[in-house]
Amino acid sequence: MSMSVLFNDTELNKYIHVLNGFTSRSGVDWDPQLLEIGNTARGSIFQETTYRAKEIPMPFEINGNIEKNYNDLMRVLNVDKPKPLIFGDTPNKVYYAVPSGAGSGGSFILRQWDDYLADPGRSSPFSC
């Protein structure tokens, strides 16, 4: 059984099998902001750390009828704004993501803008 991947309220395991070794816990692209200090030997002053969109490569194989399931999967992934994404290995965490790119070897990248604990009372920065 493949790990559950729920995207935009659709279980992707109907169409794909997530390959062994995948984890949704890939690191965030931290971007420390530093203030350079002129021409002295004192280095830099730390300002803040921000992070960019998180890219989660997810390798998979298409299940069963490849042509039908591929077409169905493409319809599910064809979104015009970020949608809720929940991985089976972190079921209490909701990412808001859009598919990005078509990586080699049957993988795609989910670009995350922000994540929230699965709490129906908490508002999202995106309307879905």
Compute how many other C-beta atoms are within 10 angstroms of the C-beta atom of residue 16: 20
The long-range contacts involving 22-28, CB below 8 angstroms and separated by at least 24 positions, are 22/58, 22/59, 23/89, 24/56, 24/87, 24/89, 24/90, 24/95, 25/89, 25/90, 26/54, 26/55, 26/56, 26/57, 27/54, 28/52, 28/54
Q: Read off the pTM.
A: 0.67
Does residue 51 sit in helix, strand or coil? strand
Under a CB-based contact definition with an 8 Å cutoff, are residues 67 and 23 in contact? Answer: no
Compute how many other C-beta atoms are within 10 angstroms of the C-beta atom of residue 102: 9
pLDDT for the residue numbered 10: 95
Q: pLDDT digit string (tens) for 5-36? A: 999 999 999 998 888 887 777 666 777 888 88
Is the pLDDT assigned to residue 60 strictly greater than 90? no
